[in-house]
Amino acid sequence: MSVAPDDVGTWIARHAERTPMRVAIRFEDEAINYRDLSRLVADLCGVLHHLALADGARVAYLGVNTPEALAIFFSCARTNLVFVPLNWRLAAPELADILEDCGASVLFVEDSAVSLARKLTHVLAEAPRVGIRTAAADFPGLTPCVGADRWEPVTDPTRPLLIVYTSGTTGRPKGAVLTAEAVVTNALNSIHMHALTAADRVLTCLPLFHVGGLNIQTTPAFAVGATVILQRRFEPNLVLRAIADAKPTLIVLVPATLRALIESAEWAASDLASLRAVTTGSTDVPRELIDAWHARGVPVIQVYGATETAPLAIYQQIEEAYASVGALGRVGLLTEVRLVNARGDDCTDGEAGEVWVRGAHVARDYWNNPDHAAFADGWFRSGDIAVRDPQGRFWFKDRGKNVIISGGENIYPAELERILSALPEVKEAAVVGQSDPRWGAVPVAVVVPRDANVSRGAILQAFDGRVARYKIPKAVIYIDALPRNVMGKVDLGALSALLKEEPCVEPKSSPR
């Protein structure tokens, strides 16, 4: 099927006309066909119109993966509103910063996030809060309203449709603004990457508040009229059982979830035969994880991108999986990529350089920060380092930024360092990543204490309730002084070397 840049808001309705009884979403014991999903989208359009929201108003969703979250997204696409999925793993102060930044006009809250949402009333002002799958009295559910058939779909492809927040190197959240055209262009890249058709069944277990969970396969599946098997959140044994029972053809996993499935007691006996491929990315993927899936006859293909690229920019196709293990792939069908060296010149093959990305799928800018240096002349400057081989395949080298990638989640040291520096017991501190067999990396705090007798536990308690659990350092190392370079900046390389030599540093991998 062809997909035009202006029709993302009508994808569901068009499939409802052509294949009304095809299952659009499988969720727990529910099988929602395209006809019923179209009705849900229409009802939500009615709710949004009833709220009298201005064009371009931001509509936030807080909660785990649900069919309603996807329906709200498509309702926003149809009614010229902007969908803002919130990370339910964040602490209330972090969410408050995001809600204030985007100026949300309404907040949809799923049952598991009700207690967290109650801590956000001070930033919502008069914005209504609508409950999803909840019986909480202070979160009224959806009120029946006139459906979307009363309004013509908005068809401006340049309109903002999606704001996904990603922290910057300062640790402050930045909202990448993706247009309707960006979502469609990304879907076309995914269709090309996966040879995606209506016959596919996509298992979505990664969170929809990340572009990885939302846009690598999920929204592209709806572009072609495929079926999405939706899970509330990632749970290893439930994912393996869903693969065996629902027989998905495609799934997206980050390295930490790849490993969790391999280490599950059910892995060896699990039936994986339905999978055409496993797509992975978000950070460097250890070869042993790829080999474990290949040994089970399941191709593993990699994708490279960022929140700001929607995210598909570079990717492997299934036929390349075994021939170029570990490669990021080639430039996407509707994408331009440059590798730029320190002199500002394009790199030759084999020369490492920063990845620059341009295309209709690249974010317009950051919300409330349109002049950010990451966007210049239409190019998004990723800060990531890669090399290109003579066959046009890209290979990941390193993160140019100081980000710690832990279980697919970005952790930015500056955010944690601000908390540490505010403690009277701490003279100075830095946070660096340490390799971890389960999560890929975990944060470790290196602290110069004012009093060597202060307990490390007391320092870690300062993070409770202020940041998400996965961001909290897994260890605290005391040091006499932070190493610095000739410019007076903390020498992160020296700190990383210190952690490798420090025998007492053994971060504990724990459920998060």
Does position 47 have pLDDT exceeding 60, yes or no?
yes
pLDDT attached to residue 267: 98
If asked whether residues 360 and 430 sit together in one domain, one would say no
Say yes or no to pLDDT of 508 above 50. no
Rg (CA), the chain: 23
pLDDT above 50: residue 313 = yes
Residue 465 or residue 150, greater confidence = 465
Structure confidence at residue 292 (pLDDT): 97
Indicate the length of the chain as a whole number: 512
Tell whether 216 and 365 lie within a shared domain. yes
What pLDDT, in 10s, does the model give residues 410-452? 888 878 988 998 899 998 899 999 988 889 999 999 999 998 8
Dihedrals phi, psi of 432, to nearest 5 degrees: -135, 165
* Confidence band of 303 (pLDDT split at 50, 70, 90): very high
Quote the mean pLDDT of the chain: 91
**Residue 197 — φ and ψ, nearest 5°?**
-135, 175
Q: Do 316 and 434 fall into the same domain?
A: no
Is residue 170 domain-resident? no
Q: 70-74, 306-310, 322-326, 406-410 — which is least confidently predicted?
A: 406-410
| Alpha-helical segments (H) within 125-247 | 180-194, 211-215, 218-224, 236-246
Same domain as 356, residue 453: no
In the prediction, which pLDDT does 103 show?
96
Residue 507 lies in a domain: no
From 168-182, 316-330, 356-370, 372-386, the region with the lowest mean pLDDT: 168-182
Report d(CA 274, CA 265) in Å as an integer: 20
Q: Are 304 and 378 in contact (CB under 8 A)?
A: no
- Pinpoint the alpha helices (H) of 400-501: 413-421, 456-461, 492-501
Q: Is residue 173 part of a domain?
A: no
Percent of the chain exceeding pLDDT 90 equals 75
Residue 259 shares a structural domain with residue 336: yes
Boundary (domain end) residue, out of 365, 381, 401: 401
**1 has pLDDT over 70:** no
249 and 308, same domain (yes or no):
yes
2 or 46: which leads in pLDDT: 46
Q: Are 46 and 58 in contact (CB under 8 A)?
A: no
Domain of residue 235, residue span: 180-401
Average pLDDT for 348-368: 96
Among the three residues 401, 433, 448, which one is the final residue of a domain in this structure?
401
100 inside domain:
yes
If one compares 86 and 149, the residue with the highest pLDDT of the two is 86
Residue 411 lies in a domain: yes
Give 168-202 pLDDT, tens digit per residue: 545 678 999 999 999 999 999 999 999 999 999 99
**129/29 Cα distance (integer angstroms):** 27
Question: Domain for residue 20, yes or no?
Answer: yes
Q: Does the residue 114 lie in any domain? A: yes
Confidence of residue 490 (pLDDT cuts 50, 70, 90): confident
* 4 pLDDT tier (thresholds 50, 70, 90): very low
Amino acid identity at 465: G
171, part of any domain = no
61-103 pLDDT, tens digit each = 999 999 999 999 999 999 999 999 999 999 999 999 999 999 9
The pLDDT > 70 percentage for the chain reads 92
pLDDT at 286: 86
Same domain? 396 vs 471: no
Q: Write the CATH number for 410.
A: 3.30.300.30
Same domain, yes or no: 269 and 367: yes
Q: Which of 360, 382, 401 is the last residue of a domain?
A: 401
Q: pLDDT tens digit string along 152-169?
A: 667 789 999 999 998 654
Q: Is residue 262 located within the same domain as residue 357?
A: yes
Measured over the CA atoms of residue 227, residue 231, residue 235 and residue 237, the dihedral's sign is negative
- Above 50 in pLDDT, residue 506? no
Task: Say yes or no: 287 and 364 in one domain.
Answer: yes
pLDDT at 240: 98
Higher pLDDT pick, 282 / 237: 237
My answer on whether 237 and 344 are in the same domain is yes
Residue 104 belongs to a domain with what CATH number?
3.40.50.12780
pTM above 0.85, yes or no: yes
Q: How many domains does the chain have?
A: 3
Domain match, 321 and 460 both: no
